[in-house]
Amino acid sequence: MKANTFVGAFFILSLPLAGWLDFQTFADEPKPPTLAERQNFQTQLDKLQSHVVLFPQNLDEAIKSLTDSVTFTFDCPETTKVRQVSVRITTRQIKWDTELRVNNEKVGIPPNAAAYYIWQPKIIIKNREKHVVANNFIMLDSDTTTQREMNPLIAPLVSEAVLYHEILHGQLLINAMLEKAWRDKACNCDFDLGPADASHEQIPELVLAYLESLAALAKQIYAVHVPPQAENDSTGYFEVVIAAASMLATRTKWESYCPEGSNVEPASFHIRIKDEKVVASGKLIDKTKKGLVLVYFTPQ
């Protein structure tokens, strides 16, 4: 998706839904985060940074943008409208606000959203030099009902994955800025926001890979992998052996969580003993793609 941003664009990304707003004006000055929000953000960020080696996609520049400016300058070909492009990016946490208004218009954050990343590039062209200043916002809901109701061992993983998701919206566009194709467009006055992945084409898979690594570290949590069920006569129903039945001797209860992009119908997921094995079953939403569910077994 592209946005011409001669006068500025306002760009919203959300979890789990994406929305786009392309306004001719900038956001009202948002409120600073509360102390609790700042502390929660820092806690999640510290956890993320302690797991850098697990990142399927690094977040170096986007994390840097939280405390410092990330800058790029590149020259354009002689034939283009501008001679040079400079980009400066910062990301600031703002107060979680489901009523966030832009230019007196409600943004309309989905009720199930837990976080937002907002790209906000302001573009000025002067003397054939294009200056882009993107003072981006990030906001986290530190007290979502979903996470309060979630298993206390799974919830921290999910909170961390939510922040990973949001910061990816920053990092993926920064990655694109290093590529010739993106720079060529920028030189021609097209500030392509597409790589920020508002449409969530890349992000859920990266987040799932990250959650899987986190689950592997957390010993009580099982990541149930479901292979695609692509046979012609398949209904998407699957059965996956996850352990020997003896495993359930000391763990009698289980709770499951289908993260965003899990590709498993949450209501269909079930665990039982079959042929001396612990078997997970359920139904894939898209039977041609793999699925992932996190399961926590409660000790007796």
Which chain residues interact with Zn ion by CB under 5 A? 13, 15
Nearer to Zn ion, 11 or 257 (CB): 11
Nearer to Zn ion, 13 or 284 (CB): 13
Structure tokens at 256: 């499951």
Nearer to Zn ion, 14 or 151 (CB): 14
Contact 33, 93 (CB under 8 A): yes
Helix extents (H) in the chain: 35-49, 60-64, 145-149, 155-177, 180-187, 203-217
Nearer to Zn ion, 16 or 228 (CB): 16
Distance of closest approach, residue 160 Cβ to Zn ion, in angstroms = 15
Neighbours of 41 (CB within 10 A): 20
Residues 6+ apart with CB under 8 A from 205: 261
Distance of closest approach, residue 20 Cβ to Zn ion, in angstroms = 12
Neighbours of 264 (CB within 10 A): 23
CA distances from 98 to 114, 191, 195, 267 (A): 10, 28, 25, 28
Contact 111, 66 (CB under 8 A): no
Q: Nearest 10 degrees: CA dihedral of 23, 73, 45, 119?
A: 10
Nearer to Zn ion, 15 or 154 (CB): 15
Distance of closest approach, residue 25 Cβ to Zn ion, in angstroms = 23
Distance of closest approach, residue 204 Cβ to Zn ion, in angstroms = 9
Nearest residue to 215 (alpha-carbon basis) of 151, 148, 134: 151
Nearer to Zn ion, 15 or 292 (CB): 15
Distance of closest approach, residue 270 Cβ to Zn ion, in angstroms = 29
Distance of closest approach, residue 7 Cβ to Zn ion, in angstroms = 25
Nearer to Zn ion, 70 or 207 (CB): 207
Distance of closest approach, residue 202 Cβ to Zn ion, in angstroms = 10
Neighbours of 111 (CB within 10 A): 7
Strand 115-119 relative to strand 129-140, pairing: antiparallel
Contact 115, 159 (CB under 8 A): no
